[in-house]
Amino acid sequence: MRATRFPERAGGPEDRMAGFVAHLRLNGLRLGPAETADALEALMLVDATDRDAARAALKALFVPDAETWRRFDDLYDAYWFNAGRTRRGTAHPDRRGVAAPSAAALWQPHLDGGAGAAGRETDRQPDAGEGEAEGTEGRLIATRTRNLARRDLREIADADALREAARAAEALARAIRDRRSRRRKQALRGREIDLRRTLRASLARGGEPLDLRRRSRPDRPVRIIALCDVSGSMTVYARVFLAFVKGLVDADTEAEAYLFHTRAMRVTPALRDRDTLRAATRLGLMAEGFGGGTDIGASLAAFADGPGGRRLTRRSVVVILSDGYCTGRPEALAAALARLRRRAGRIVWLNPLKGWADYAPVAAGIRAALPHLDAHLPANTIAALAALEPEFARL
């Protein structure tokens, strides 16, 4: 293996290390200038001319998790040994590669409308075939509507359906949110005596513990993150589901909502908008390409990588509303769900098809997803949604 020859203008080891940190940053590691300094300090502790020692030292220092652990060696070779897997870092760290928020990509399809639409058309081809092939129950919906044009979501925010679904959603949100913490906090009428505070209070009484202070296990709100599929196969349900998601978001200031078809986008602010007309307009703008193809795996992966995914904790419930028909690879869906599973407390999949009498989860997408779900529940009507409450309470 030949070592990289750095250009003349590159300075000493500091510059090269800064270049390496920039190279790692381009490849998705979150490192700052402090890490560069740490790296130089670490190399002082080992024999920096020993190739393996230097590699092992930088690996221990820079790698944050198991996934990166496996690919670090390649990244290392790419920079220091000319393996050229990625753009070779110059000795000047630059921020060009820092991933810009995907907003630009999001708007791309309707900026150059024709190309974007064509791209999605090819995306969607297998979807039609799949719907045809995979059992009788999904075909009707999976292949009927293909509408790539801008769709006005105002007609979807129909007042009656919205109110009813929202009510069901609020009941559900309450059922999920009421969970007890294992920690204890002081409380006026708790079940246990808080010895620490009781004793403090007793000092005022000459050491007699007369005033008993209590503590209890406080309620911990569970955050709900709803991901609603708005692709072609889901069009007939979109009306109900959007209202449902709005209900979830309204019930709780912590809740978040995303819509996805081939991408995932955050719609929480639009759903919270009190001005219905403005909300509808904002949603309409966001749901550009609404009713097109589906790539659940890629959407979930994008969500997990984004700021939304990073905010997931064990007290989050991810609610996915989708029929599981997906043009992406089922393995990608399984991998994305497995990643979400590690971060979130629970994943619930609400499937409109599951309410059908002879439904069996045979579509490749949903079959791949099932092992990673905490619950796979029917949701084809508002009544079915309302009936979910006991199921949710059990989660």
Partner 1 sequence: MTLQELRTALEGRGYVASGDLSMALHLALGLGRPLLLEGPAGVGKTEIARALAEATGARLIRLQCYEGLDASHAIYEWNYQRQLLAIRAEGATEDSLFSEKYLMRRPLLEAISQPEPPVLLIDEIDRADEEFEAYLLEILSEFQITIPELGTIAATSRPVVILTANGTRDLSDALRRRCLYSYVDYPDRDTEIAILRARAPDLAPRLARQIVGVVQALRREDLEKKPGVAEMLDWAAALAGLGVNDLSDDPATVQATLVCLLKTATDRDAAPPELMARLIGKVA
Residues that bind partner 1 (CB under 8 A): 30, 38, 41-42, 45-47, 52-53, 56-57, 59-61, 63-66, 69-70, 181-184, 195-196, 199, 202-203, 207, 209, 310, 313-314, 342-343
Cβ 181 to partner 1, closest distance in Å?
A: 8
Smaller CB separation from partner 1, 152 or 219 = 219
Give min distance, CB of 339 to partner 1, in A.
Answer: 9
Q: Which CB, 52 or 275, lies closer to partner 1?
A: 52
Closest contact distance (angstroms) between CB of 53 and partner 1 is 7
Which is closer to partner 1, CB of 42 or CB of 364?
Answer: 42
Supply the minimum distance, in Å, between the C-beta of residue 302 and partner 1: 17
Measure the CA–CA gap between 204 and 146, rounded to whole angstroms. 75
Nearer to partner 1, 63 or 395 (CB): 63
The Cα 337–Cα 329 span in angstroms is 13
C-alpha distances in Å from residue 118, one per residue of 122, 130, 176, 185: 6, 19, 42, 58
Structure tokens that stand for 59 in this block = 């690996």
- Residues 6 or more apart whose CB falls under 8 angstroms from that of 263 comprise 102, 105, 106, 298, 299, 302
* CB of residue 294 to partner 1, shortest distance in Å: 27
How far apart, in whole angstroms, are the C-alpha atoms of residue 119 and residue 139? 23
Smallest gap from residue 313 Cβ to partner 1 (A): 6
Residues 6+ apart with CB under 8 A from 99: 28
Nearer to partner 1, 70 or 278 (CB): 70
Amino acid at 186: Q
Sheet holding 223-229, edge to edge: 264-266, 256-260, 223-229, 316-321, 346-351, 375-378
CA nearest to 255, candidates 351, 177, 361: 177
Q: Which is nearer to partner 1, 61 or 370 (CB)?
A: 61
199 versus 393: smaller Cβ distance to partner 1: 199
**73 or 155, CB closer to partner 1?**
73
> CA torsion sign, 161 to 164 to 167 to 173?
negative
CB closer to partner 1, 57 vs 162: 57
Distance CA 303, CA 265 (A): 8
On whether the CB atoms of residues 346 and 374 are closer than 8 A, the answer is yes
The distance of closest approach from Cβ of residue 92 to partner 1 in the complex, given in angstroms and rounded to an integer, is 24
CA distance 382 to 334: 28
Q: Least distance in Å: CB of 75 to partner 1?
A: 15
Residue 48, SS3?
Answer: coil
Q: What are the backbone dihedrals phi and psi of residue 73, each rounded to the nearest 5 degrees, phi first?
A: -60, -40
Least distance (Å) between residue 265 CB and partner 1: 23
